[in-house]
Amino acid sequence: MPRFSKAVSSLRSSEIRDLMTLASRPDIISFAGGMPGNDLFPVEEVEELYRKLESKHKQAAFQYGPTPGLPSLLESLAGFLETKGLPVKENRLLITTGSQQGLNLLAKAFIDPGEPVLVENPCFIGALSAFRSYEAELRGVPVDRDGINIEALRHETERPEKAKFLYITPYFHNPAGVLYTTERKRELIETLQGTDIPLIEDDAYGDLSFFEEDRERLKPIKAINPPGIEVCYTGSFSKILGPGLRLGWMLVPEEIYQKCELIKQSADACSPSFTQVLADQFIRSGQIYSYVTRVREEYKRRAAAMVAALREHLPSYVEWNEPRGGFYIWLTLPEGADATKIMMLALEKGAVFVVGKTFDPAGKRNNSLRLSYCNNTPQEIAEGIPIVAHAIRQVCG
């Protein structure tokens, strides 16, 4: 019998990944996956960009590349990030194989078995999986409509055993859909200063804002560049070009960069050169800006369709957020409700979503659920939400 490591033996499949098989069935309306709509990908634009490339660039796309990323992409991506006010020149930029690899690199760089890590509750399942794989002790800090709970965070920072880092998704939070307020970010900064606890700021959805008035709230903490805090900023092409490229990035201080580059060398040597060439051309052509504007409007339309359906069909005891961007709406049910029972009933009638305990660091609290509107047409949303609402009424009354 194989004798696996303790770390591998403790791994469990993501419930979201398990649901993907169901989601692929043509008779199921899936609100489960945070996947961009296939119909929205810039296929023709990318084909044209590749067609116009010189042969030497096409050849380079098939070749190994440097571990940190292709120099051309590092240059164009730096310019893209500087439009957000990010301090690129004061930090180091590393291309990763999806932002999930970035989280794994940081986890490996910081975590020894049994050490505490601070995460939001609820929290992105990919981050929980990455941190668990290095046997971290996950300490969940509650999230409300304005962001992470500062009183609870302060309590955690004052515990004798110092956390290795704090991980947050402040911009259209996955799964809660929350956009941190400017005031809450200021309080978070003040709470972390002087604690020697690094911050991992995951910004996968910040470009998908629906409202111009939220511009100030979208300014990354990394762009604020607060003194006394090591901020590791991660991002991805998955939501602004396509997840199939498997390209993300991290912008981190030099000392952290050095460790992560060494870890990446041993993990995959380099991220795919082919998709790096495509991403570089997409940025340099300027099409990334027009494309993001286009899909942002479409996601806003789909979000509005889901909001309208929820208003019409949900019972009044269900609490939920109206999205200001991103992919998700988070429903909170009465205390003690079991979202798994609701999901099974909804599944029988043809709709599926992700239950709340999936995003709970302790894997217990289950009176909530995540709905994703990004991969559904307004018609599918109008057909699927009544199924979910009916299942909620069957379980909760």
Q: Which pLDDT does position 40 carry in this prediction?
A: 95
Distance CA 342, CA 259 (A): 45
Structure tokens at 76: 């164009």
Asked whether residue 49 is assigned to any structural domain, the reply reads no
Same domain, residue pair 327 and 386? yes
Asked whether residue 211 is assigned to any structural domain, the reply reads yes
The long-range contacts involving 314-320, CB below 8 angstroms and separated by at least 24 positions, are 314/389, 314/392, 315/389, 315/392, 315/393, 315/396, 317/396, 318/392
CATH classification at residue 271: 3.40.640.10
Whether 60 shows a pLDDT value over 70: the answer reads: yes
Asked whether residue 102 is assigned to any structural domain, the reply reads yes
Same domain, residue pair 222 and 327? no
Helix axes 378-396, 339-349, angle to 10 degrees: 130
Q: Which of 271, 286, 301 is the last residue of a domain?
A: 286
- Looking at every residue in the chain, the average pLDDT score rounds to 95
Distance CA 384, CA 94 (A): 40
- Determine the structural domain holding residue 338 and report its residue range: 6-42+289-396
The C-alpha torsion from 273 through 276 and 281 to 284, rounded to 10°, is -130
Q: How many domains does the chain have?
A: 2
Same domain, residue pair 275 and 143? yes
Q: Which of 286, 316, 334 is the last residue of a domain?
A: 286
Q: Grade residue 329 by pLDDT with cuts at 50, 70 and 90.
A: very high
Same domain, residue pair 242 and 226? yes
Are 221 and 188 within 8 A, CB to CB?
yes
Helix (H) or strand (E) holding 52: none
Asked whether residue 136 is assigned to any structural domain, the reply reads yes
Per residue in 228-259, pLDDT (tens digit) is 999 999 999 999 999 999 999 999 999 999 99
Q: Which pLDDT does position 326 carry in this prediction?
A: 98
Distance CA 330, CA 371 (A): 6
Same domain, residue pair 117 and 237? yes
Q: Which pLDDT does position 201 carry in this prediction?
A: 98
CATH classification at residue 322: 3.90.1150.10
Asked whether residue 74 is assigned to any structural domain, the reply reads yes
Q: Show the 3-state SS of 315-355.
A: CCCCEECCCCECCEEEEECCCCCCHHHHHHHHHHHCEECEE
Asked whether residue 47 is assigned to any structural domain, the reply reads no
Same domain, residue pair 220 and 368? no
Of the listed ranges 21-25, 94-98, 169-173, 267-271, the least confidently predicted one is 21-25
Per residue in 20-32, pLDDT (tens digit) is 566 567 789 999 9
Same domain, residue pair 131 and 18? no
Q: Where are the beta strands (DSSP E) in 113-186?
A: 116-121, 137-144, 147-148, 166-168
Same domain, residue pair 220 and 354? no
Short-list 73, 92, 67, CA closest to 257: 92
Range 117-124 average pLDDT: 98
Same domain, residue pair 203 and 155? yes
Whether 16 shows a pLDDT value over 70: the answer reads: no
- Cis-peptide into 243, omega within 30 deg: no
Q: Which of 226, 260, 286 is the last residue of a domain?
A: 286
Those residues whose C-beta lies under 8 Å from the C-beta of residue 138, and which sit 6 or more positions away, are 116, 117, 119, 128, 131, 132, 361, 362
Structure tokens at 128: 């929980």
Same domain, residue pair 256 and 298? no
Same domain, residue pair 183 and 199? yes
Same domain, residue pair 84 and 213? yes
